[in-house]
C-alpha cells in the first residue's frame, strides 16, 4: 500500500519560507499571489494489506516522527 | 568530574566539547555513542552541536529516538545536569525535555557569527559564574534557531525565570535588531522547570580559549563544573 | 552486445586514433562497457592528456614534502610528527547546471580526496567566479553555489575559513567553483590508493550506486553550448550526512591495522578507483559487480562502472581483516560489500552474474592514456589587450568617489554575506576568520598554526598569462606572510578554455611556466592540483584562471597577524614601492571600464625581500597589523585596514609622496610587493632599521586614529587632501554592497 | 483561486532525506516501510478567475521558481 502524507504548518504559525517565496514570486512579476504556505509531502510504501492497520501505522508515524504537532498538522491518504 | 558527550551520527561539535572540558577545564570526558542505553557514572551530559541525522526532516527529530536519549531522559529526570548546545538544544526540544520548537531563521540562511546574549538568570548551575545581566559575546552557527512556543508556555518560561539567555546588543539592550534569527522574545537559551536542563543556540565551547580571542564561553562551562563540585563534595580531590 | 559504431565512439568523446590505440591495447574491439571505461579514464578530466607534459615542469619536491602530486592529495610535513594534506578541485560544469548540488558535491569530492589519505579535514576554502550580479541568472548561480557549499561543509563539520570571489561577465556562461580542503594527519600514517598484495579483498563502502552523473568526467571535458542546459544529465545529489559517516568510518578503519590501500570514487567512480589502485601497485583487480550495493534495479555493468554516485569508497583490506572492516562500516550505518580481489596479472577484470563483462590492463586505463603536445601560439589580439595609451585616460578627479565605487564593486566589497553562511568556527581552531589576508587555524596539541589563502587575478592572466601566474604565486605567499606564516606548499586548480585551441593552450603553457618560475624562486613545492579545461560556452572562453591555494606554517599560533588596524595612535608604515601600475587594475575596470594594459611589474627579489621582512617583523613582535596591497591598490588596502576588523571602523590620517606618478596610480595602482603595516610608535624605528637592512623600501605614511580616512598627496611643504571619508561611510558601502545587490529582487 | 502544488524529486535522483527517514522509521519499529520520498507541498492564492490563465501562471511559477526542474518535477491542482 502506498501512503501519501502532507505535513503543513498550523494556521497562525509564521512561515518564513512561504513569505520568501511570495516575495520572490512578486519580483518575478506574479503580483497577485498571496498566502503562500510551504509544507512537506511524503510518499512511502507499506507492506501491509489491511487498510485499518495501515491507517493506524501511518498515523503513528506522523505523530511520532513525521510531524511536529506543536506547529504542524498532517493528513494522509492510502492507496 | 566525568562529563559525557553524546555522539549522534552527524554530531560535529562533539570533539570541540570534548576538547574544551578536557584540555581547557581539566575534566574527564566520556564520549557516549548514541546506541548506548545507559549514562550511568556521568556527572553531566552534553548534547553537542552538529547535524544529527543530517538534520533531515526537522532538526533533532530523528536523533531524539536514539537509544541513548531514553537514558538521557532518565538522567535528567533524576536531576542530572544536561546541556544541549545548538543541535543539542534542538534535540532537547524534539525530545520534549524542553518546551517549544525551532523554526528556520528568519533570513532562511545559515548564520555563523559572534552575537551577544544577556544572562537573564545568574542563579543556575550553568550561569553561576556570570553576573546577572552580564553580556556575553559568543558565536552562533545555525540555520534553524528561531525559537517558538505558544503564548501560555512562553508566559510560563518567563514567570519561572526559565529564559536564561536573550539575544542583545553589545550594551545589553534586548532589541529586535539584536535578534539574529527571529527567535521569540529574543530567546537564545532556556532551562526546564527543575533547572537542570539547559538548551542554548550559541556555542560556549567555541569561545573558551584566549587563542580563539574570546573566553566568555568558559563562564558557562566552568559554572557547570563548579556546581558539580559542590554537589558532589565527596568526589572533590578524589 | 551493440556494435561499436563511429557514432558511438564520437559520443564517448574518443577520437579515431584513440580508438585504434584501444584496439591495439586489447588486441580486439572493446565491448560497450569497456568503451565506456576507456572513455572516462581517457577523458581530459581523468587523463590530463593535454596538460601532463607541462605539469611535469612544476617543482614538486622539497624537504617538507611527504607526498607530491599523483595521489589523492599532497602532504607536507609541519613537524612534531604531523603533516597537512591538501588539494583543490573544480566543479565548474556541474555547478552551472545545478548550482546547489554542483557546488555541494564539489565540496564532498575534495573532502574525500583528503580523508582518503588518512587526514581529518580541518579547513575548506572556496574560490568562485561569477558573471556580474546585475544579471538575475548570475545572482541565482551565486546564491545556489554559496548555499551548496554551506549545506555540505557545515553539515560535515569542516569550517570554511576563507576563499575569494571575483565577478566578471566573462564567467556568466561558465562560472568557476573551486574548493580547497586541508586535513591533518600523522606523518607516518598517510594512506595511499594502492591495491598491493595479491589475494587481498577489495571492499566497497558508502552509499549505494545509482545512475547519477554517468559520464560526469567526460562532461567536464566537453565545452558547453546552448543545448547543454537542456541536456540535463542525471545530476549528482550530495548527501553530506552520509559523507560525515563515511569520514568517521574511514578514520576508524585507518586507526586499526586493517587496510592496504583506499581511494574514493570520484570522477569515473568504480572504474577510476579500481584501475588506479591496481595500477599504482602494478597489480590487477577482479571485481564482481553482483555484490555492488545499488539503489535502482536493472543497472547494467556499463552504468555500474561509470556511475558517479557520491559518498562511495573502495578499500583494499589486509586478507582476513574483512570482517573487522565490515563491522566498522556497519557501525556507521554504511553499505558495505566485498566486491573483488587483488590479482597479480595487472588486469582489471569485471564480472557480472558469473560472466566477464570487461577485461582491460589496469595500467592502460590509468596511466597509458593518450598524451598530447598540443600546438600553442599567442592569440592575434594579445597586443591589443596589453597596449594601452595612458594619455587618453584622464587622471582621477574625485578620488573619494572613485574609492567608494571600488569599495562597493562586488569583487572588492566585503564577502560577509557569503562567509556568514559558512560555519567557519566549527572544530574550534579558527584563530583568524574570513576577512583577513589569510585564514589561520591552530593545530591542537601543538603551538603551531597553519595559514591558508586562495588567489588568482585572472585579468592579469588574460593580459599576460606568465606574469599573471607569477603574480598569483607572489600574492598568495604575500598573503601568508601578512598572517605571519612561511609558505610550505601549493596546490593549484588550473581553469582554462579549450586546449585544442592554440591560443588557449598558449595561455595554459605560459601560466604553468609562470607558476613554475615563481615557485622555484620562492621554494614552494606544488604538491597537488587539478586541471579544468573546456571552460567555454559558444566558443567564448573564460579568462585563464590558474587558481592557487597556498599553505603556510606559523610556529607560534599566537603570532598570527590580521590585516586590520588595532589601536589609535599606531603608526602606519608602507613597505615597498609604488610604480605606475594601472594596467589590468580593478580601478581601470570599475572607473574606466577597461580591462587592458600590462599587469603590474613583479620583481621576485624585491618580493622575496618584502616577505622575509614582514615575517621577521611579525616574529619579532613588532607588528600590530599587516595587509598586502592587491585589488584596488593602496587606497583600498588602507580602507580595508580601517574597517575590516571585528570592532568599530577606525580612521587614519595618511600622507603620501607621489613623486612623478599619476594620482590614480598612487592611490589605486596595483604595484606588487607592497604591504601596509601598523605598529606601536615605540617599534617604528626598529621596523625601519630592519627593513633597511633587508633592502626593503619603508616609509611611515601616517597614523591610525580619528573617525575618518584622510589621505593627502604632497611633499613635506604642501599637501592636498584627496580622500576624506568617514570610516563608517566606507564601512557601509563596503560591508553591505553584496547584500544590497542581492536584495534587489 | 487556490493552487495546490506538489514538487517531488525525479525518478532516479537520490533522496537523502527520504533515506534517513526510512532508516529512522525502521529503527522505530516500522519495519515494512520502503521507498520513502520527500517532496514539497505548497499552497497559494491567486487573484485570477480565468482558469486557463491561472493554469498558465502556476505552470510558469513552477518552472521559474518553485521547482528545480533539473532534479524535480511538479504537478498542481487549481480550486
Ligand atoms: N568565497 C569566500 N568564502 C569565504 N571567504 C571569502 C570568500 N571570498 C572572500 N572571502 C574572504 O574575504 C577576505 C577578502 O578576500 P580577498 O579580497 O580575496 O583577499 P585577498 O585579496 O587578500 O586575497 C578574505 O579573508 C577571504 O578569505
Ligand atoms: Mg590580500
Instruction: Kindly state the DSSP code that residue C61 receives in the 8-state scheme.
Output: -
User: Is B224 at the interface with chain D, CB within 8 A?
Assistant: no
User: What's the gap between Cα C297 and its chain centre?
Assistant: 38
User: DSSP readout, C73-114?
Assistant: SEEEEEETTEEEEEEEEE-HHHHHHSHHHHHHHHHHHHHHHH
Verify whether ligand 1 is closer than 6 Å to residue C163 (CB atom). yes
Per-residue pLDDT at C715:
78
User: Is B59 at the interface with chain A, CB within 8 A?
Assistant: no
Helix (H, G, I), strand (E, B) or coil at C357: strand
Verify whether ligand 1 is closer than 6 Å to residue C306 (CB atom). no
Per-residue pLDDT at C235:
80
Among D14, D19, D20, most B C-beta atoms within 10 A, so best to mutate, is D20
Half-sphere exposure of C385 (CA within 13 A, CB side): 17
Verify whether ligand 1 is closer than 6 Å to residue C34 (CB atom). no
Distances in Å between the alpha carbon of C477 and those of C84, C398, C451, C548, D1? 17, 34, 10, 10, 62
Q: Which of C564, C563, C561 is nearest to C651 (CA)?
A: C564
Would you say residue C745 has pLDDT above 80? Answer: no
- The arithmetic mean of pLDDT across residues C235-253, rounded, is 95
CA dihedral sign, ordered C284, C288, C294, C299: positive
Would you say residue C712 has pLDDT above 90? Answer: yes
C242 min Cα distance to partner chain B (Å): 8
Per-residue pLDDT at C211:
86
Percent of chain A surpassing pLDDT 90:
84
D48 min Cα distance to partner chain B (Å): 29
Q: Looking at the domain covering A2-78, what would its CATH class be?
A: alpha beta
CATH number of B98's domain: 3.40.50.880
Looking from the CA of residue C433, the nearest atom of ligand 1 is: 25
Verify whether ligand 1 is closer than 6 Å to residue C587 (CB atom). no
Ligand 1 atom 27, closest CA: C162
Per-residue pLDDT at C225:
55
B233 min Cα distance to partner chain C (Å): 32
Would you say residue C212 has pLDDT above 90? Answer: no
Can you give the residue range of the structural domain that contains B121? 2-237
**Which chains have 3+ CB pairs within 8 A of D?**
A, B, C
B66 min Cα distance to partner chain D (Å): 9
User: Is A69 at the interface with chain B, CB within 8 A?
Assistant: no
Q: Output the CA C415–ligand 1 centroid distance in Å.
A: 7
Per-residue pLDDT at C232:
40
Q: Which of C203, C172, C456 is nearest to C314 (CA)?
A: C203
User: Is B91 at the interface with chain D, CB within 8 A?
Assistant: no
Ligand approaching nearest to the C-alpha of C632: 1
pLDDT band at D12 (very low <50, low <70, confident <90, very high): confident
Per-residue pLDDT at B156:
97
Establish whether B86 is a catalytic residue. yes
Give the whole-angstrom CA distance, residue C177 versus residue C491: 15
Q: Which residue of A has its CA nearest to B65?
A: A65
Would you say residue C2 has pLDDT above 60? Answer: no
Q: Output the CA C436–ligand 2 centroid distance in Å.
A: 7
Verify whether ligand 1 is closer than 6 Å to residue C455 (CB atom). yes
Chain A partners within 8 Å of D43 (Cβ): 8, 35-37, 39
Q: B110, C245: Cβ pair inside 8 Å?
A: no
Cell of C201: 579483498
Per-residue pLDDT at C709:
98
Instruction: Delimit the domains of chain A by residue range.
Output: 2-78
Establish whether B120 is a catalytic residue. no
pLDDT band at C213 (very low <50, low <70, confident <90, very high): confident
Per-residue pLDDT at C266:
84
Per-residue pLDDT at C434:
97
Which residue's entry shows cell 580601517? C642
- Ion ligand 2 residue ranges (Cβ < 5 Å): C 437, 479, 628, 630
Q: Which residue of D has its CA nearest to B10?
A: D20
pLDDT band at C218 (very low <50, low <70, confident <90, very high): low
Per-residue pLDDT at C233:
47
Looking from the CA of residue C455, the nearest atom of ligand 1 is: 23
Per-residue pLDDT at B73:
97
Rounded to the nearest integer, the mean pLDDT of chain C is 95
Chain B partners within 8 Å of C440 (Cβ): none
Q: D24, B57: Cβ pair inside 8 Å?
A: yes
pLDDT band at C221 (very low <50, low <70, confident <90, very high): low
* Beta pairing class for C201-206 and C120-130: unpaired
Verify whether ligand 1 is closer than 6 Å to residue C385 (CB atom). no
Cβ atoms of C509 and C376 within 8 Å: the answer is yes
Chain A partners within 8 Å of C745 (Cβ): 23-24, 27
Looking from the CA of residue C628, the nearest atom of ligand 1 is: 22
Per-residue pLDDT at C105:
96
Verify whether ligand 1 is closer than 6 Å to residue C418 (CB atom). yes
Phi/psi at D40 (5° precision): -110, 150
Per-residue pLDDT at C4:
86
Taking only the tens place, the pLDDT of each residue in C290-300 is: 999 999 888 99
Per-residue pLDDT at C217:
52
Per-residue pLDDT at A32:
86
Rounded to the nearest integer, the mean pLDDT of chain B is 95
Q: Which of B85, B83, B6, B17 is nearest to B39 (CA)?
A: B6
Looking from the CA of residue C146, the nearest atom of ligand 1 is: 1
Q: Which of C143, C162, C166 to mutate to test the pocket of ligand 1 (most atoms within 8 A of CB)?
A: C162
Would you say residue B236 has pLDDT above 70? Answer: no
Please name the helix (run of DSSP H) or strand (run of DSSP E) that holds residue C623, with its range, or none.
none
In SS3 terms, B42-88 reads as CCEEEECCECHHHHCCCCCCCHHHCHHHHHHHHHHHCCCEEEEECHH
Number of domains into which chain B is organized:
1
**Which chains have 3+ CB pairs within 8 A of B?**
A, C, D
User: Is A24 at the interface with chain C, CB within 8 A?
Assistant: yes
Per-residue pLDDT at B67:
95
Q: Which residues of C touch A (CB under 8 A)?
A: 745
Would you say residue C743 has pLDDT above 90? Answer: no
- The arithmetic mean of pLDDT across residues A46-66, rounded, is 95
Give the whole-angstrom CA distance, residue A12 versus residue B166: 24
* Beta pairing class for C486-495 and C526-532: parallel
C8 vs C372, higher pLDDT: C372
Per-residue pLDDT at C216:
56
Give the whole-angstrom CA distance, residue C651 versus residue C726: 7
Rounded to a whole number of angstroms, the CA Rg of chain A reads 16
Establish whether B205 is a catalytic residue. yes
CA dihedral sign, ordered B198, B203, B205, B210: negative
**Crossing angle, helix D16-27 and helix C240-255, to 10 degrees?**
70
Taking only the tens place, the pLDDT of each residue in C582-603 is: 999 999 999 999 999 999 999 9
Ligand 1 atom 24, closest CA: C435
pLDDT band at C229 (very low <50, low <70, confident <90, very high): very low
- The arithmetic mean of pLDDT across residues C463-487, rounded, is 98
- The arithmetic mean of pLDDT across residues C37-55, rounded, is 95
Per-residue pLDDT at B237:
39
Taking only the tens place, the pLDDT of each residue in C402-415 is: 999 999 999 999 99
User: Is B180 at the interface with chain A, CB within 8 A?
Assistant: no
- The arithmetic mean of pLDDT across residues B54-62, rounded, is 95
Percent of chain C surpassing pLDDT 70:
97
Amino acid at each position: 500500500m502506498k501512503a501519501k502524507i502532507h505535513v503543513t504548518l498550523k494556521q497562525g504559525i509564521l512561515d518564513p519560507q512561504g513569505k520568501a517565496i511570495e516575495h520572490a514570486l512578486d519580483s518575478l512579476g506574479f503580483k497577485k499571489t498571496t498566502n503562500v504556505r510551504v509544507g512537506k509531502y511524503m510518499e512511502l510504501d507499506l507492506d501491509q494489506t489491511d487498510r485499518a492497520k495501515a491507517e493506524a501505522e501511518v498515523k503513528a508515524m506522523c505523530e511520532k516522527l513525521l510531524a511536529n504537532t506543536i506547529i504542524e498538522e498532517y493528513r494522509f491518504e492510502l492507496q | 568530574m566525568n562529563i559525557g558527550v553524546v555522539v549522534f551520527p552527524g554530531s560535529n561539535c562533539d570533539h570541540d566539547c570534548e576538547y574544551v572540558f578536557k584540555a581547557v577545564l581539566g575534566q574527564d570526558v566520556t564520549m557516549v555513542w548514541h546506541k548506548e542505553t545507559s549514562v550511568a557514572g556521568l556527572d553531566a551530559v552534553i548534547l553537542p552541536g552538529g547535524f544529527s541525522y543530517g538534520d533531515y526532516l526537522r532538526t533533532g527529530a530523528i536523533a531524539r529516538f536514539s537509544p541513548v536519549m531514553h537514558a538521557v531522559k532518565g538522567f535528567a529526570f533524576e536531576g542530572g545536569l544536561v546541556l544541549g548546545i545548538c543541535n543539542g538544544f534542538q534535540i532537547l526540544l524534539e525530545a520534549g525535555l524542553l518546551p517549544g520548537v525551532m523554526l528556520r531563521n528568519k533570513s532562511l540562511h545559515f548564520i555563523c557569527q559572534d552575537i551577544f546574549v544577556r544572562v537573564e538568570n545568574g542563579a543556575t548551575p550553568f550561569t553561576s559564574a556570570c553576573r546577572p545581566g552580564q553580556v556575553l559575546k559568543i558565536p552562533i552557527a545555525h540555520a534553524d534557531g528561531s525559537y517558538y512556543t505558544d503564548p501560555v508556555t512562553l508566559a510560563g518560561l518567563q514567570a519561572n525565570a526559565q529564559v536564561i539567555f536573550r539575544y542583545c546588543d553589545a550594551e545589553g539592550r534586548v532589541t529586535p535588531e539584536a535578534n539574529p534569527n527571529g527567535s521569540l522574545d529574543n530567546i537564545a537559551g532556556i532551562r526546564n522547570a527543575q533547572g537542570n536542563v539547559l538548551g542554548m543556540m550559541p556555542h560556549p565551547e567555541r569561545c573558551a580559549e584566549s587563542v580563539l580571542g574570546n573566553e566568555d564561553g568558559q563562564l558557562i562551562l566552568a559554572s557547570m563544573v563548579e556546581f558539580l563540585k559542590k554537589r558532589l563534595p565527596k568526589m572533590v580531590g578524589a | 552486445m551493440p556494435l561499436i559504431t563511429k557514432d558511438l565512439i564520437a559520443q564517448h568523446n574518443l577520437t579515431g586514433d584513440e580508438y585504434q590505440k584501444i584496439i591495439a591495447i586489447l588486441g580486439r574491439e572493446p565491448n560497450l562497457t569497456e568503451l565506456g571505461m576507456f572513455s572516462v579514464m581517457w577523458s581530459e578530466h581523468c587523463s590530463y592528456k593535454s596538460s601532463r607534459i607541462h605539469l611535469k615542469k612544476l617543482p614538486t619536491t622539497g624537504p617538507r614534502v611527504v607526498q607530491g602530486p599523483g595521489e589523492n592529495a599532497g602532504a607536507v610535513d609541519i613537524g612534531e610528527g604531523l603533516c597537512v594534506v591538501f588539494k583543490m578541485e573544480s566543479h565548474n560544469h556541474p555547478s552551472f547546471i545545478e548550482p546547489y548540488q554542483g557546488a555541494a558535491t564539489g565540496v564532498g569530492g575534495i573532502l574525500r580526496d583528503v580523508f582518503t589519505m588518512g587526514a581529518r579535514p580541518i579547513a575548506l576554502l572556496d574560490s568562485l567566479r561569477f558573471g556580474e550580479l546585475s544579471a538575475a541568472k548570475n545572482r541565482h548561480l551565486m546564491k545556489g553555489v554559496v548555499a551548496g557549499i554551506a549545506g555540505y561543509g557545515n553539515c560535515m563539520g569542516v569550517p570554511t575559513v576563507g576563499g575569494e570571489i571575483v565577478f566578471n561577465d566573462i564567467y556568466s556562461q561558465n562560472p568557476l567553483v573551486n574548493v580547497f580542503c586541508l586535513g591533518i594527519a600523522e606523518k607516518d600514517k598517510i594512506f595511499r590508493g594502492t591495491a598491493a598484495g595479491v589475494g587481498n579483498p577489495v571492499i566497497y563502502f558508502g552509499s549505494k550506486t545509482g545512475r547519477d552523473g554517468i559520464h560526469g568526467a567526460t562532461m567536464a571535458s566537453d565545452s558547453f553550448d546552448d543545448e547543454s542546459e537542456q541536456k540535463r544529465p542525471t545530476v549528482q545529489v550530495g548527501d553530506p550526512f552520509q559523507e560525515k559517516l563515511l569520514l568517521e568510518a574511514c578514520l576508524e578503519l585507518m586507526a586499526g591495522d586493517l587496510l592496504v590501500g583506499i581511494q574514493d570514487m570520484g570522477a569515473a567512480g568504480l572504474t577510476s578507483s579500481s584501475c588506479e589502485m591496481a595500477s599504482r601497485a602494478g597489480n590487477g583487480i577482479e571485481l564482481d559487480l553482483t555484490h555492488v550495493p545499488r539503489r535502482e534495479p536493472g543497472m547494467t555493468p556499463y552504468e555500474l562502472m561509470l556511475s558517479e554516485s557520491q559518498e562511495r569508497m573502495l578499500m583494499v583490506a589486509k586478507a582476513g581483516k574483512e570482517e573487522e572492516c565490515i563491522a566498522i562500516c556497519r557501525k556507521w550505518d554504511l553499505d558495505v560489500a566485498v566486491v573483488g580481489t587483488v590479482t597479480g596479472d595487472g588486469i582489471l577484470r569485471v564480472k557480472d552474474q558469473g560472466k566477464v563483462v570487461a577485461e582491460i590492463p589496469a595500467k592502460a586505463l590509468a596511466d597509458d592514456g593518450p598524451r598530447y603536445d598540443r600546438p600553442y601560439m599567442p592569440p592575434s589580439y594579445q597586443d591589443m589587450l596589453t597596449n594601452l595609451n595612458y594619455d587618453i585616460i584622464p587622471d582621477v578627479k574625485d578620488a573619494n568617489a572613485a574609492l567608494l565605487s571600488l569599495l562597493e564593486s562586488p569583487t572588492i566589497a566585503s564577502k560577509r554575506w557569503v562567509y556568514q553562511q559558512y560555519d567557519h568556527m566549527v572544530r574550534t581552531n579558527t584563530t583568524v576568520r574570513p576577512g583577513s589576508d589569510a585564514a589561520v587555524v591552530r593545530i591542537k596539541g601543538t603551538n603551531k598554526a597553519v595559514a591558508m589563502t586562495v588567489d588568482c587575478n585572472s585579468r592579469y592572466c588574460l593580459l599576460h598569462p606568465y606574469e599573471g601566474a607569477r603574480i598569483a604565486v607572489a600574492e598568495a605567499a604575500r598573503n601568508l606572510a601578512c598572517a605571519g606564516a612561511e609558505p610550505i606548499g601549493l596546490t593549484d586548480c588550473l581553469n582554462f578554455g579549450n586546449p585544442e585551441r592554440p591560443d588557449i593552450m598558449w595561455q595554459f603553457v605560459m601560466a604553468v611556466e609562470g607558476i613554475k618560475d615563481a615557485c622555484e624562486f620562492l621554494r614552494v613545492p606544488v604538491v597537488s592540483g587539478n586541471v579544468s579545461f573546456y571552460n567555454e560556452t559558444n566558443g567564448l572562453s573564460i579568462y585563464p584562471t590558474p587558481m592557487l591555494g597556498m599553505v603556510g606554517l606559523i610556529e607560534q599560533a599566537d603570532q598570527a597577524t590580521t590585516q586590520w588596524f588595532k589601536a589609535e595612535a599606531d603608526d602606519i608604515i608602507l613597505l615597498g614601492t609604488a610604480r605606475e601600475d594601472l594596467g589590468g587594475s580593478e580601478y581601470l575596470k570599475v572607473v574606466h571600464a577597461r580591462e587592458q594594459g600590462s599587469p603590474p611589474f613583479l620583481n621576485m627579489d624585491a618580493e622575496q625581500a618584502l616577505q622575509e621582512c614582514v615575517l621577521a617583523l611579525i616574529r619579532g613582535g613588532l607588528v600590530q597589523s599587516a595587509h598586502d596591497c592587491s585589488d584596488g591598490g593602496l587606497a583600498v588596502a588602507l580602507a580595508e585596514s580601517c574597517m575590516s576588523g571585528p570592532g568599530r571602523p577606525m580612521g587614519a590620517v595618511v600622507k603620501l609622496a607621489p613623486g612623478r606618478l599619476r594620482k590614480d596610480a598612487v592611490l589605486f595602482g596595483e604595484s606588487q610587493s607592497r604591504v601596509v603595516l601598523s605598529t606601536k610608535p615605540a617599534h617604528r624605528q626598529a621596523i625601519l632599521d630592519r627593513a633597511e637592512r633587508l633592502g626593503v623600501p619603508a616609509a611611515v605614511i601616517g597614523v591610525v586614529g580619528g573617525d575618518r580616512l584622510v589621505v593627502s598627496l604632497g611633499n613635506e611643504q604642501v599637501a592636498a587632501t584627496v580622500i576624506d571619508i568617514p570610516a563608517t561611510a566606507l564601512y557601509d558601502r563596503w560591508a553591505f554592497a553584496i547584500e544590497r545587490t542581492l536584495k534587489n529582487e
